[in-house]
Structure formats: structure tokens, C-alpha cells
Structure 1
Amino acid sequence: MAAPFLETPSLPEVFSSVGIPAAGSWFRKLFAFAGPAYLVSVGYMDPGNWATDIEGGARFGYELIWVLLLSNWMAILLQTLSARLGLFAGRDLAQACRDYYSRPVSLTLWVLCEIAIVACDLAEVLGSAIGLNLLFGIPLIVAVVITAADVLLLLALQNYGIRKMEAFIVSLVVIVGLCYVVEIILAKPVFGEIVSAIAHPRLRNESLYVAIGILGATVMPHNLYLHSSLVQSRRVNRTENDLKAAAKYNLIDSAVALNLAFFVNAAILVMSAAVFHRNGVVVTEISQAHATLAPLVGTALSSTIFAIALLCAGQSSTITGTLAGQIVMEGFLQIRIRPWLRRLITRSLAIIPAVIVIALKGEQGTYQLLILSQVILSFQLPFAIVPLVQFTSSREKMGRFANPRWLKALAWLVAGFIIALNIRLLMMVMGADCCRP
């Protein structure tokens, strides 16, 4: 049983650093709260999402778009719970786990979370490297090594404060979103088939592996730790009315940001279905998707836009991944190291498997590694979701702001659904029943 919550703030360099106007319009206050969910949302459109969305669209057409929509709804629910924990309890998820669980359990959760962060960073390494390769012709192995230099970008942004970092990330998100508006226009999808796929969901054994990859790419465990910390960057009075207002603004922030992320992911899957599945093209690597876009769509612009969006997605995700790593290490272990050192450690652990796979299997191996990294993330999800639902449902931790019964039931239903899917996939893999290309 747990020690009481300690007073050490989460991410002290940005804690309570953004003021909230006491007066002014509703929109002005909403703008002051806007930001944390956008930093979180970039993890929902990182290169790992690209791989699962492209494979899902190329192999199964529009069939799995309902999985994306369901995953997005679950993400909004879970990120809202994460924000509530940080706002009402004043603790990020890692700190809450350390305070409540025994040390062996807490350390186990820390290790699992670090594995998830490395798996996520692996996707960012590969995505950024492939983007550099497609745009500038840099050899893939060299591009992977170059990605280690993004620590300089992180250091530059941190010197300008959290609001400037949020603005930079939002800019990258907007670029990715605009790129896919153009891609959808060029791809000319059949919208009636998209609506039909959402209205009549189906999930076959053949598509389960990719479906769980989509789930792992959309609902990311480290984002639950990240969001519970970032909401504490706002300076909120601890009165009941102000806390309730902050929760409302954070909910709007999450809904808008994550629905934007859903649009990007849906656009990737729809583009893949409209271009590749429709023409019978089997995509086994992202560079192949890039190369075949131009002849199938009819313009080289589509391939260039694809590569730019991929590079922006990789770079935006790498920044938030580093913040999540800091939060997890400080929260679980109470150890603070310099952000650039933390970045290099995580990136080094991600680069090693990337280089090995590229050397042994070439570019096709990187695509398979991207999909695998997202499935690994899905397997880590229950170890973040269960503590999150437990803490936000506890009156001991949340007081009168604990989850109401309906929200508690819905949250446990989501947790149970994700756990059941993971068990099903594990049974299929162990029984060699899972169809893979």
C-alpha cells in the first residue's frame, strides 16, 4: 500500500510555467490551455502509424478503418483520464505508480514503459531515416545514424520554453495534415465504401495482427505518462471551479488534437486502399509506397509530399518521446539526467536493432520492424491503462473528482477489450495461426 503523494513536481522546468488569464473570453482561456494534447497527438501519427495504416489499407482496403475510429475514441477517453490524474491529483502517472505500488511492482512497470519508449523511438528512427533517404538519397544506414543528431533540435527548443515547443510541434502537425489533404484529393477514394466499412465492421484472423498494430500505434502507453505531466505546465488555481474549468478545456484540447490525428491516420489508410489495394499492389516497404505513388496517382507531387510528411512526423514524435522518457525516469526512479543524455541513451537503444535489421534484411526488414514495434506497444498498453483507471477511479487519490460510475465502467471495458485482443493475438502467434505476408 502506498505512501502519500510527494510534493516533487513533474517536469519541474515547465511545471506551472504557463499562466491562465483570470479574465477574458472563453476562446482566450481555451487557447491558454491548448497545447499539451497536441504534443501528445504527434505520437498518434508517428512513422509506426504510417506502416500499420499503409499495410492495413494495401492488404485489406477500407476494411480496418473502423479499427482506427474505435482506437481514436479509446485514445480520447484514456488521454482524458491521464489529464484528469495530472490536474486533480497533481501527479503524473509514473509518480502515482511509485507512490502506490511496492518497489518491485513499480520497477517492473518502469522497465515495461522504457521498452515501450524504445519501441516507439525505433519507429521514429526508421521513419526519419526513410524520409531522409527518400528526399535526399542518403543511404538508409547513414540516415539512421544521422537521426541521433536530433538531440540538437531538442536542446534548441527547450531553451525557448514549453509554449514555443508546442507551437513548433503544432506547425509540424499542420504540415503533415495539409500533405494528406492533398494526397486524398489526388487519390480519389470511394467514400461510399469507406462509410460502408465503418457501418459494417469486421475483423478476420488474417487482419488481426495489423489491427492490433493499428491499436498499438494509436493508443500509445507512454502518451498516458506524458499527458498527465504536461497538463501541470498550466498554472491553475486549486479551487473546485477552476479545476473543473481546466478539466473542460483539457477535454476540448484532447478531442480536437486527437481527432486531427485520426484524420491523418485515416487519410493514410484511405490513400493506401485507394491507390495500392485498388490496383493490386502489395506494399512491403515504405519506400515502395513512395515509389509507386507517382505512377499510380499520376503526379510526382504525391511522392514528394509523402516523403516530407514522413520526415515531419518522425521529427515531431522524437521530441515528445524524449519528454516522456524524462517523465518516466524521474517519476519511477526519482533520477534526473540531462535531456540530451536521456535522448542519446534512448536513441542508441533504438538505433542498434535498426542498423542490424537494415544490414541483414535491407529496406523490407525496416517495414516489418515498424509493424512489430507497434504490436510491442500494444502489448505494453495494459500495464499503463490498468494503473491509470485504478488511480483515477480512487477517491483516495482523486477525492471528489474520482471517475463517476459510468466513466469507471467504460474505462475498465476499454482496458478489458485491449487485454482480450492482446491475448487473442498471443494465442494465434503461439499456435502459428496468424497469417502474415
Structure 2
Amino acid sequence: MFKKIGPGVLVAAAFVGPGTIAMCTLAGARFGYALIWALVVSILATIVLQGMAGRIGVVTQSGLVDVMRQELKVPWIRKTVITVVLAAILIGNAAYEAGNIGGATLGLEQLVDQEWTKPYLPILIGFFIFLLLWFSSYKVLERIFVGLVGIMGASFVVCAIITKPSVAEIVKGMFVPRLPEGSLFTVIALVGTTVVPYNLFLHTSLVKEKWKSVNGIKEVKWDTIVSIALGGIVSLAILVTASAAPIADVNQVLDMAKGLEPLFGKMAVYFMSVGLLAAGVTSAITAPLAAAYVASSCFGWSGGMQDKRFKLTWTFVLFCGVISLSFDIKPIEVIQFAQVANGLLLPIMAMLLLWVVNKRSVMGQYQNTMLQNAFGLAIVLFSIFLGMKSILKVVGVF
């Protein structure tokens, strides 16, 4: 079974990072179980879109940017799309990296608990990630991620279980959509932090590292479904835990753990800290990796993960993340803004993905079925609906 686990684990680890933890914490603390439906919709949308991205990778044995570059025949359109994608992924992932390393730092601070070490922890984590990326192959990273995701999942699920949540209320939150006052931006952010556009590019590139022919298409499908569903269970556990935590305001993720401490003891803080550290490290690895894969496709580099230019790209993103932490900005505010922006960018990326996966010249017999297109179109319409509502709310019309 473990031999068949592949890029899906990395995708799950990428979206269950400090951003997801922060948004699920905010959703649970402020609105209880009311927004579980939004999380469920986000997970289903992720499975559908990542399934398409994985299929493109295994059928074409190319990255998503490579395929778009080949299929966009009008030069100015091709250059515009590639430039926008490259800029969005490089700049966006450099910004996310600060939140990823910041989340890992918050978790490690609680475990080390030595005041003099705090200024050095981001550098220590950054250096650890640098060594992993520099010396590891894809297969080594895959095994590391399986271990880290297992630790992260166990930590957060234990936290949820010890709060003794109401199963009836959880089921109601899943199947009865509600939009409490002031929850719109939280819903958009939940979608944005789960259905992450850069993961589409990452997944397409990683699939061809694992499976070298179209014979692996069935394994790609189940790897995606199982891995992302497990990631969804972790996200749900975080939201459920936050719903039970007696906290009035959330300025950082560990406020939830501190809220649980009077009820469940110091172990609640330790479990949350370990989970946050694992989530931060996994996302801090995938964000630079995704940026490097996109840059490699845009510029046609052929050396894979060992190409010096590939390594220079992820080093730049990682360096930006470590340096950004020197500014006095609340990480949760940056994370919130980034996830809302992600949610607004999603419809564009989803439409590009649907266009590619429906081209017979690219996919042959593996192009989308009518049912897959229906799901994909529903995701695009839903994300456009949320985006329009948020814009109208900002300008005061809605």
C-alpha cells in the first residue's frame, strides 16, 4: 500500500499547512460547526481538480505549464498567461513561505520553551528545510512526507477526540449549509486555503516523477482521493477542536491550544504544537518546490530537481520566507489575506485546467467525461459566486 502512495501525500501536506490550521481555527472559534459544509465542499473540489491535474501529468509526462505553452498558439496570449502564472506562483509562494516557517516556529517555540532560542528558530527551521531539499530525491521526500503527515494527522485528531464533540452537530454542519453573519470571508478563505492553485502545478509535475507511463493512471486516481480525504479529516479535526475551545479571540493558532489547556492539561498544547510544527515544515517544503517546478517549466530547464537553476529558485523562495519573519506582522493577518486572494484566483486556474484536460490533442482517450466536466464547472461557478459576493460586500452593495 505504501509503495502506491505518491504525490497525493505531498499535495495534502501542502494544503494542510499553517494557513489551513489558522482558517479552520478561526472558523471553529467564531462560528462553531456552522461552516463544516464549506470545508467539505472544499475537499471535494480539491479531489476533483487535483485528480484532473494528476491525470494530465501521467498522460502527458509534462508539467501543466509545459502543456499550456504548447497548446496556446497565439504568441501574445501564451506569453501573458505564462508570465502571470510565473509571477503569481513565485511571488505568492514567497509570501506563503513566511507563514509556513512562522507556523513551524510557533509550534517549535512551545516544545523548546527557551526564550533565548526564539530569534534563531526560523533560521534553524529554514536551514533544516534547505538541507532536505538540497540533498533529497523525490523518493526520499515522499517518505519524509508520509511520516510528517502521519504525525500531524495523529496530533490534531487526538486533540479533536479529547474535546468530546457532538457528532450530531458535526453531521448537521456537513449537510445543512449556513452562512452566519460575518462568515463570508471565512468561507472564501476556507476554500482558498484548501483548493490551492499552486498545488495544481505541483501535482502535475510530481506525478511524472512517480509514474512513467499512462499505466499508472488508476493509481494516480486513488492516491489523490485517499491522500486528500485524509487531509480533509485533519482539517475537520482542527475546526472541531476550535469549536470546543473556550477562546474569544484568535491572534495565533496556539491560542486554541492555550484555550484547551485548562480543560485538558498541558498535553493539549504539546499535541497542537507538534501538529503545527509538522504542518509548517511540510508546507515550507512544498511551496518552494512548486515554485521551482513552475519556473523550470516556464524556462524549459531539463535537469529536474538536481538542476542548479531549479535549486536556486526554491532557495530564493525559502530565503524570502525566513527574511520576512523579521518584520513585525501578525502571521494570521497575512494568512487570512493570502487565502482570500487565493480563493479569488481559483476560478481562473480552474478554467485553465478544464480547458487543458478537455483537449483531445493533449489527453486522447483520457480527456474529461461529461460528469467530470459537470463537477469542474460547478466548482468554477461556486468559486466565481463566492468571489463576486466578496467583491460586492467590500464595495458595500451586498
TM-score (norm 2): 0.90
Contact residue 58 and residue 211 of structure 2 kept, 8 A: no
Q: Which runs of 5 or more structure 1 residues have no equivalent in the other structure? A: 1-26, 238-242, 359-364
- Map 1:274-353; keep pairs closer than 5 Å: 274-276=244-246, 281-295=248-262, 297-335=263-301, 337-353=308-324
- In the alignment, what sits opposite 1:355? 326
Contact residue 35 and residue 253 of structure 1 kept, 8 A: yes
* TM superposition shift of 1:370: 2.0
- In the alignment, what sits opposite 1:5? none
Q: How far, CA to CA, are the matches of 2:393 and 2:51 in structure 1?
A: 32
Q: How far, CA to CA, are the matches of 2:95 and 2:184 in structure 1?
A: 20
- In the alignment, what sits opposite 1:148? 126
1:84-113 residue CA offsets vs partner (Å, 9 max, x unmatched): 111112221121122233212221222122
Contact residue 122 and residue 373 of structure 1 kept, 8 A: no
Identify which of 106, 121, 125 aligns with 2:82: 106
Contact residue 157 and residue 164 of structure 1 kept, 8 A: no
- In the alignment, what sits opposite 2:75? none
- In the alignment, what sits opposite 2:304? none
* TM superposition shift of 1:430: 3.3
* TM superposition shift of 1:67: 0.8
Q: How far, CA to CA, are the matches of 1:122 and 1:374 in structure 2?
A: 14
- In the alignment, what sits opposite 1:65? 36
* TM superposition shift of 1:429: 2.3
Contact residue 130 and residue 315 of structure 2 kept, 8 A: no
Q: Which moved more, 1:249-258 or 1:409-418?
A: 409-418
* Residue 42 in structure 1 maps to residue 20 in structure 2: no
Which letter does structure 1 place at the counterpart of 2:126? Answer: A
Q: How far, CA to CA, are the matches of 2:257 and 2:172 in structure 1?
A: 28
Q: How far, CA to CA, are the matches of 2:257 and 2:36 in structure 1?
A: 21
Q: In the superposition, relative to structure 1, how do residues 260 and 341 fare at CA in structure 2: closer, same or farther (>3 Å)? A: same
1:378-421 residue CA offsets vs partner (Å, 9 max, x unmatched): 23323322211100011121122211222123212212211221
State the percentage of identical aligned residues. 28
Contact residue 120 and residue 374 of structure 1 kept, 8 A: no
Q: How far, CA to CA, are the matches of 1:429 and 1:294 in structure 2?
A: 37
Q: Which runs of 5 or more structure 2 residues have no equivalent in the other structure? A: 73-77, 302-306
* TM superposition shift of 1:157: 5.0
- In the alignment, what sits opposite 1:383? 348
- In the alignment, what sits opposite 1:424? 389
1:197-246 residue CA offsets vs partner (Å, 9 max, x unmatched): 11211124511111111111111111100111111123544xxxxx3x52
The root-mean-square deviation of aligned C-alpha atoms, in Å, is 2.1
Q: How far, CA to CA, are the matches of 2:156 and 2:254 in structure 1?
A: 17
- In the alignment, what sits opposite 1:203? 179
Contact residue 63 and residue 201 of structure 2 kept, 8 A: yes
Q: In the superposition, relative to structure 1, how do residues 432 and 333 fare at CA in structure 2: closer, same or farther (>3 Å)? A: farther
Contact residue 85 and residue 93 of structure 1 kept, 8 A: yes
Q: How far, CA to CA, are the matches of 1:191 and 1:136 in structure 2?
A: 35
Which letter does structure 1 place at the counterpart of 2:131? Answer: L
Q: In the superposition, relative to structure 1, how do residues 386 and 113 fare at CA in structure 2: closer, same or farther (>3 Å)? A: farther
Q: How far, CA to CA, are the matches of 2:352 and 2:34 in structure 1?
A: 33
* TM superposition shift of 1:340: 4.4
Contact residue 62 and residue 270 of structure 1 kept, 8 A: yes
TM-score (norm 1): 0.83
- Map 1:26-37; keep pairs closer than 5 Å: 31-37=2-8
Q: How far, CA to CA, are the matches of 2:397 and 2:249 in structure 1?
A: 22
* TM superposition shift of 1:343: 2.8
